[in-house]
Structure 1
Amino acid sequence: MAASSSGLDHGVDPEIPEVSGDRYLNVLDQDEVQAFWREAGVRGGSGDPCFNVDWAAAGKEVVDHPRVKELCQAQAARGGQRAAAAMRQRAAALANELAASVETRVAHFTSALARFMFERLYSGLIFEREQLTALAHLSMRAQQEGRSIVYLPSHKSHIDYLVLQFSLWNLGLGAPAIAAGENLNLPVVGSLLRRNGAFYIRRSFSGEDSELYTTVVAAYLEGLLCRGANVKFFSEGGRSRSGKLLQPKIGLLGMVVDPILRGIVEDAYIVPVSIYYDGVMETESYVRELLGSAKRKESLIGVLGQGKHLLAMPRSRYGNIHVRFAPGFSARSYIENYTALQRQSSVHRANFDPQSSASEKGILLKALAYHVLEEINRVSSVTPTALVGTVLLCTQGRGIGRRALISKVEWLRGEVVRSGGHMSRFYDFPGELTAEVVDSALGVLGNLVQTFTGLVEPVYCVAPGMSFELSYYRNLCVHVFIHQAIVTAVLHRAVQRQPNVRRVERTSIMSDVRFLSRLLKREFVFSGAATPNSSVRPQAVAGEQHWGQENSTALMRNFESALELLVSEGVIEFCDEGGAISLEQYCQAQEMGGYDHWNKHFTFLCSLVWPLIESYWLVLASLLYIFRHGLVIIGERQAVACMQTFAKTLVHTGHVQYDEAASAEPLKFALQTYGELGIVRWARRTGEQGEQIVALELEPEYRGNEGDKFGELTRLTNAVASYRRCWREQEGPEDFPDYVARMAFSSRL
């Protein structure tokens, strides 16, 4: 299997086997699956290698793990042997709560049930045959070496748990143990999933027995890896409610890497996986949660009720499920390469050692986690629903005619491919009619799109109140365009601030791109800095990482790449002198009162980031009101709730254009980003009743002096506001009615 196009060996076979027949494989088609067995030399179902794993032993041996014994000995020193015995008993109970198994009869039953559900709801479960064949070779190699494959998929839906398990078991590629949230450990359903490989972990590892629980989970995972059992967990932690990849959680990833660092486990193969859907069943509930409704607790009654609801739906209502595998790579090789790169790249890290230093291990894990997410983005494809949803949300005016919709979908498809993205199976064949693609997407989107008939031609528009939900599908293609989107948002700002400007200097634009990229770093997984002659790209711009030289290099490369794409499209030009950027075409189109071609202006690209910029401005406007009026905001949850009420009101009064600007997720991320940037902090203080509280405070450097007390915060607010869309007279932080903020915040305190 190929580790990369560079051919650098990371412990994986560089040769990809020849693949015959159709490029794609539908796992719901048993004939195609059996043909794959013959081609790849595997046997699925009861012949799956997962049945060769001693699942029970991995759980039973937890109490004898050295680190569990250390905790028991420490407990004995504090409370005697009885206390140590109680801790040992507790460790055994926790291990028993975790223990998973894969039982033949149960697996057959669950597979049949899952097949019925998939065939009822979806047209197909689609894989790329070449990726599957390469994965089969990796699977056989891992079995021979006694090593595990660690699958790290994206997380868009609860169905993700079943998709990979069902597929790998049927394909004979080693069904994995699945880390699932304890909220899914429901009566009957929980037991069924546990006997199909699920082990349930807490949503949070904090609590009275947090140290013991963390140690038990780590020991259990180590036991699975020592036995060569495949493992699957979601590097994002929870499901993405927005359609974009979430920032990674590194807890379980650290538990996989730790025994490899310590030499307990020789190695494991890591396989990033992209799972995505033409239609996602949960988008309606996602919107409710993002708009402030409490998350509904899972229950058996809820599961049965949802099943009844799904059975009543039209057959194949949600289109296709698509699964894409990035090339698997050796965890040990990644660790060794990253360590060598760190030691070579900086004199301050000449002794970089993630094995002995907890902080340097954290750096390694973050780099690995972002590499996995970047690989997921790289192999993900754009669906027809993403194309149609994006066009509808970017349409100016009340609606769009059928011919224009088809034309713009075809244009957007070309832009995806030109920008390095991939299209899903349904739109991958040269002879596929765009009209058929559009009709299929409209069928999946259903009531999110309003259709007017009885006219010269059908006219489509976003259904009232559905733009927020439709934005989920638009966000499925954001990763393809994000670098261009940030550049165009910056260029749009330059034109709005100086209407007569015809050229801008690259250094000025680069400075603004750096500012906006830092601001939105929690929202996107930016492309990392590729290492020469290496498939492993450990440096990533996004996330809570430092912005050192390596990130500046990556940002500059992304900036230059985005400019080249914009020039090739004719959106901008380079001036002859000094490499400055010409905005002549943009300015001429603006002076004419519009744009002659939809693909010749910035609106499409800017619209991918404008809603988020609105959210980040709303948080700053909120902070100005809070601190000017001396309000006490206790805890992040209360702060986000107040800001969301404020944002919703401004959306409905027309002071903010985008419904999704009032989403709880970007408001929370913005508040966290401003904390990391040293603008606000959470500080312990004594409340009015003498109780201890954690309240929001402005950092000292943003408090200013008496004459200009909030000057720095005001300037930052205005700076972020300058990137907003100028769709009406530009509002600043003072332009919304003051009573809106007063009622939004005072009513919640």
Structure 2
Amino acid sequence: MPTALIGTVILTLRGRGVGRNEVIRRVDWLRHQIILKGGQVAEFYGMTTGEIVDRSIVILKDVVGERKEKEVIEPTFYGVKRFELSFYRNQVIHLFIEEAIVSAALYTVVKRGGAKSTQRMRFDDLLEQVAFLSSLLKVDFIYKPGGVEANTERTVLWLEQNQVLVRDAEGYIGLSDLERACGRENYAVSLYSMNPQPVQHVNYPSTEPEFDPSTANWIDEGTFTRRAQALGKTLYFQGDLSYLEAVNKETLKNAFIRLEEQRIIMVRRAGLNRESHQWALHPAWAPERRNEQVVPAGKLWDMVERIGGFRREGKNRRDNATVSTRVLRLAELASHPDAYARSQTYPSQAARDPRASGAPKL
């Protein structure tokens, strides 16, 4: 349906907003790509794309805002309620999930910047990243049959045929010159089409040793969820988390269930009332501490850091050491019921010199 096209375009373009002419151009492009992928698109019945866009914006008035004549020289649209708008995008995403995963895997080197030679990967390295990311998202999406290697090879070939990626004589895969020249706009649609989620689907073996429950720090589920949301919202409003929908209550609940399956989080149930359930971090995953402060090291941090490699670059992409210490400070604060009051006096950790050996990364 046309509203799905509009929602996808608005959510997958960078910037605060997008002009009407650009929306029309990208809707035409996306419609063509969906047809090429074997998907179905609503018939326009002789109406121009501009007319379809104008009608769809009226339907989406509660989730899409518009800057009009008195403010700008061209109608400009922007997402007002991005979480609600994502429901429209999700009607399209399943057609491009393989391209999105390959793009995200390649993004781990593209976002570093620099020369083209540093923004490419061998197929085997790309396949390793794709396999890891696919395992994280296996509950959210249904993949085509054939296995991860065959699907990745087919997806890379499709992106090559569409001049988004190129494979050189040495076997390295990277962005094509044509894609770089157009500002990576087609690559970005694939990259940002995936619904952002917190860390939730991790395929670590469920072989953690048993432990004495009396030694764990238990917390009731309701308090745990509220504090997790407060931490996520703080990171979002401070610019370190890109999407507020990542801390949606339902999304967090699914994450907790998956982490329990992997024995990263332990649950103690008491009846049918979920609020009476208690949660604790398995001791094997407990973060390391030095001088009574959490440090970016250990099994849990390594897992989070690897997943963080796929994240969209934010305001602090060149300030990793500072981000690490600030996020850990906020995580420590979130464990206290009086976090807001405590933040006024809680000491900040000094950021380590990122040039020093062993400097933390995020």
Q: Scaled by the length of structure 1, what TM-score is found?
A: 0.38
Asked if the contact 2:67–2:77 (Cα under 8 Å) also holds between the matched residues in 1, the reply is: yes
Letter in 2 for 1:616: V
Asked if the contact 1:683–1:697 (Cα under 8 Å) also holds between the matched residues in 2, the reply is: no
State whether structure 2 residue 174 is matched by structure 1 residue 559.
Answer: no
- Aligned with 2:220 (options 634, 657, 670): 634
* CA–CA distance in structure 1, aligned partners of residues 185 and 97 of structure 2: 16
Report the equivalent of 2:252.
667
Report the equivalent of 1:462.
79
Letter in 1 for 2:101: I
Asked if the contact 1:451–1:461 (Cα under 8 Å) also holds between the matched residues in 2, the reply is: yes
1:441 CA drift (Å): 1.2
Q: Can you list the C-alpha shifts for 1:255-291, whole angstroms capped at 9, x where unaligned?
A: xxxxxxxxxxxxxxxxxxxxxxxxxxxxxxxxxxxxx
> Which has more radius of gyration?
1
Q: 1:693 and 1:650, CA in 2 relative to 1: closer, same or farther beyond 3 A?
A: closer
Give 1:487-526 correspondences, 5 Å limit. 487-497=102-112, 499-500=114-115, 501-526=118-143
Q: 1:666 and 1:522, CA in 2 relative to 1: closer, same or farther beyond 3 A?
A: farther
Report the equivalent of 2:177.
585
Q: Can you list the C-alpha shifts for 1:470-499, whole angstroms capped at 9, x where unaligned?
A: 122112211111111011011011223574
1:610 CA drift (Å): 6.5
Report the equivalent of 2:199.
616
Letter in 2 for 1:448: V
1:569 CA drift (Å): 1.7
Q: 1:705 and 1:720, CA in 2 relative to 1: closer, same or farther beyond 3 A?
A: closer
1:517 CA drift (Å): 1.0
Letter in 2 for 1:513: V
Q: Any idea what SS the aligned residue of 1:728 has? A: coil
1:703 CA drift (Å): 5.1
Q: Any idea what SS the aligned residue of 2:78 has? A: strand
Q: Any idea what SS the aligned residue of 1:422 has? A: coil
Report the equivalent of 1:722.
309
Report the equivalent of 1:440.
55
Letter in 2 for 1:673: R
The total of aligned residue pairs comes to 309
- Aligned with 1:422 (options 17, 40, 48): 40
Q: 1:607 and 1:748, CA in 2 relative to 1: closer, same or farther beyond 3 A?
A: farther
- Aligned with 1:603 (options 183, 188, 208): 188
* CA–CA distance in structure 1, aligned partners of residues 227 and 61 of structure 2: 33
Report the equivalent of 2:331.
741
1:693 CA drift (Å): 6.9
* CA–CA distance in structure 1, aligned partners of residues 160 and 6 of structure 2: 25
Letter in 1 for 2:194: V
Letter in 2 for 1:672: I
Asked if the contact 1:523–1:666 (Cα under 8 Å) also holds between the matched residues in 2, the reply is: no
State whether structure 2 residue 187 is matched by structure 1 residue 569.
Answer: no
1:725 CA drift (Å): 0.7
Letter in 1 for 2:335: F
Asked if the contact 1:610–1:724 (Cα under 8 Å) also holds between the matched residues in 2, the reply is: no
Give 1:284-323 correspondences, 5 Å limit. none
Q: Can you list the C-alpha shifts for 1:80-125, whole angstroms capped at 9, x where unaligned?
A: xxxxxxxxxxxxxxxxxxxxxxxxxxxxxxxxxxxxxxxxxxxxxx
Asked if the contact 1:682–1:696 (Cα under 8 Å) also holds between the matched residues in 2, the reply is: yes
Q: 1:458 and 1:496, CA in 2 relative to 1: closer, same or farther beyond 3 A?
A: closer
Overall identity of the aligned pairs, in %: 28
Report the equivalent of 1:180.
none
Q: Can you list the C-alpha shifts for 1:327-352, whole angstroms capped at 9, x where unaligned?
A: xxxxxxxxxxxxxxxxxxxxxxxxxx
Q: 1:416 and 1:584, CA in 2 relative to 1: closer, same or farther beyond 3 A?
A: closer
* CA–CA distance in structure 2, aligned partners of residues 416 and 719 of structure 1: 32
Asked if the contact 2:110–2:120 (Cα under 8 Å) also holds between the matched residues in 1, the reply is: no
Report the equivalent of 2:206.
none
Report the equivalent of 1:453.
68
Unaligned stretches of 5+ residues in structure 1: 1-382, 530-552, 590-594, 620-629, 686-691
1:413 CA drift (Å): 0.9
Asked if the contact 1:616–1:667 (Cα under 8 Å) also holds between the matched residues in 2, the reply is: no
* CA–CA distance in structure 2, aligned partners of residues 748 and 480 of structure 1: 46
* CA–CA distance in structure 2, aligned partners of residues 498 and 407 of structure 1: 28
Q: Any idea what SS the aligned residue of 2:15 has? A: coil
* CA–CA distance in structure 2, aligned partners of residues 581 and 556 of structure 1: 15
Report the equivalent of 1:697.
281
Give 1:111-122 correspondences, 5 Å limit. none
1:647 CA drift (Å): 0.7
Q: Any idea what SS the aligned residue of 2:199 has? A: helix
Asked if the contact 2:240–2:316 (Cα under 8 Å) also holds between the matched residues in 1, the reply is: no
Q: Any idea what SS the aligned residue of 1:681 has? A: strand
* CA–CA distance in structure 2, aligned partners of residues 479 and 720 of structure 1: 21
Q: 1:737 and 1:558, CA in 2 relative to 1: closer, same or farther beyond 3 A?
A: closer
Report the equivalent of 1:652.
237
Q: 1:414 and 1:748, CA in 2 relative to 1: closer, same or farther beyond 3 A?
A: farther
Q: Can you list the C-alpha shifts for 1:514-561, whole angstroms capped at 9, x where unaligned?
A: 11111122222223x2xxxxxxxxxxxxxxxxxxxxxxx422232223
Q: Any idea what SS the aligned residue of 2:326 has? A: coil
Report the equivalent of 1:398.
16
Letter in 2 for 1:459: T
Q: Scaled by the length of structure 2, what TM-score is found?
A: 0.74
Unaligned stretches of 5+ residues in structure 2: 203-215, 271-275, 340-362
Report the equivalent of 1:318.
none
Report the equivalent of 1:297.
none
Q: 1:608 and 1:709, CA in 2 relative to 1: closer, same or farther beyond 3 A?
A: closer
Letter in 2 for 1:410: D
Q: 1:440 and 1:705, CA in 2 relative to 1: closer, same or farther beyond 3 A?
A: closer
CA-atom RMSD, angstroms? 3.2
Letter in 1 for 2:155: A
